[in-house]
Structure 1
Amino acid sequence: MSFDFDKANQSFDSLPYKDRLKSIADLAKNTLSIVGKDKDIIKPWIRMTIYHSIMVTFFFGGFFLWQYNHPGYGFLCFVLAFFLFLYKHFYDNKQEMRMSWIVYETVIGNDPSYKGATTASKEIKWYIRKIAGIDILMSFVNKSKYTGGGIVKMLIRLFISGLEEVWDLANHYLLPSVAVDRLDITTAIKEMKKLKDRVPESLVGIFGIDFLGKVVRQVTVPAYIILFIISAALGYFGSEILPATTIDFNGDDVAFTFVPIIFAFWIGKLFSNIFERTVTAIKVIYFTVFYTKITHPDRIREDMQDELVDYLNLKQVDEVDNLEEQDVEQE
């Protein structure tokens, strides 16, 4: 079954929110079948979620300590969170590279271990640092604010937005090319340009598709809104038992505690970071399998050949789209 690129984009962009989540859930379920071949695949994800949870906890812990009149300890938490934030790009790329290596070794029939992935990543640590450096650059580019009007600033904003999307996709093709074939970044980028010519006809439609690009925001934003409403109510009614601040509201002094809001955003950020790491893990697994299928199809174990083709073709998304088309025709 071939898969059309424009159709895939349209499917994910136009599906109702509920069906879109179902498609992603199905993709995640099928990804777990790959993970089930070797449990070591999930170990880098576990380490990334722990790292990000500690980073987020230090950051919001600083706010908690500030509210409870411990500014010195609060400032220390902010400093630790800042350094963890800077290093996270290097840590994440290292873990993603290890995950990519384990996935590759699994689909070609070996029995990899996390210890083996650690040894393999040490041989390419300079390449990992290069990719992490580009990640940091793109992070600052993404967070740069260009205000004001004018055609020039509008074009700058469009360029930065496009650059971010291109890098996110390129990054997930670079990971397996470095992890599997030990290619230098420059060489890998050159090879990426030739990669499409080597894609099998049945998979050509999904080359370049970023099918998880908007999922994190679509899932986490509603959660943040709900958490904020609940915590704001608790901030008002809980001002008598928690550290509170007096706010001038239309001439009246109103006691309000920010502790529930800090707690709510801490929980929300923990959830969003774990969800982001999960989405990233799915991408790493997917694109490693994709890269292996394109560049080394003869190495894939025989019993996984058909299973991987269905997995790569996003069969579950195609089926959702076909069901919708049938419903439209019936109407």
Structure 2
Amino acid sequence: MKRDETIADLAPLAARPDGAGSSRRALPPPDAIAALAREIESGLAACAPLSLGEHPIEAYLASFAELPAGSQYHAIPPAARATCRAIEAAGGAEAVEAYHRLVLLHLIMGVIARGPSAPMHLTPEALALLDVYLARVVADVAKPRKGFFRHGNDQFAKDFAVCRGRLLPCGVEVLDPLGGIPRRLVFKGRQGADHLRQAVTMARMAWRLGGTKAVWGLHFDRRQIQNFTAKGYADLYLRVADLLEANPEIHGISSGSWWHDPRVLEISPELSFIGTIPENGGAFLIRVGEDDRTTSDALRFAPQRTALHRLGKYRPCFYMLAWARRDVIAWAEAYRAGSVQRRIPVA
């Protein structure tokens, strides 16, 4: 199969980024993926002949399976870093990217053959979204962007994590089954009386959730910017509610970001749609603190927040939002019925 034919076969597969109405047929035929893999493998053999022989894909993936419990989705084990260094030494950065493209295809072929490996029961809509996401990954592999398929690029990290079942696409954000809520939050963010109030809120939150473990996390995917709207977040939370119904052992969901800071709602009310649903649906909000990354993210592409920060009138702060399963499900039922409750305890 010629390269142009491979791309022609695969390019249409990402035509429905929202996953609406998709099915297993959204995924490419295994023969097309196998042909693309052979093409990439041939190129890798030309620039780094021993890469696959000395660094089998199965062994590379096994190193990620051995990461400590609770590791972030973008964590890279030492063995995987060593593999990348060895391949780059043999064939340059292009060889590392070719290797990672093969890794993604290997994982997707596994999904087609054995089904998703996500540690949860998936709803039909979640399966449809996953299929469309994987189809888009295959299309991206067929038309690679230089510098994309490398560790350190968060978009590649998300794709890699979704392909190996570490994350689940849910629309504007991806769901992290190992998210959780760190107990150390009770000791962060406040002092004195404020610290005591935060400890009380943490205790109330833990009681409402039924514990701080078995809580899913959410992470924004910048490629879903077209769904970065009130409707996009309503759709997200409806899908999450359905997943919680299908997984009764999960206590709730969490989300951490500078945009959950109540101060942001005063400065940038146009972003209020992000937290409106959980905040009006019984979510808890915990102040975590300030750091350089939070400041950078909050000020990027934001002239008004940047100006206020320079004047000392705004200090970006990271907040953790936690929403109990019963409240998420109750919100979804009320939303579908046309009414919602309004309440938010803030520390």
- What TM-score range do you get, normalising by the shorter chain? under 0.3
Q: Which has the higher contact order (CA 8 A, sep 6+)?
A: 1
Q: Which structure dedicates a bigger proportion of its chain to helix?
A: 1
TM-score after normalising by structure 1: 0.22
Q: Which structure dedicates a bigger proportion of its chain to strand?
A: 2
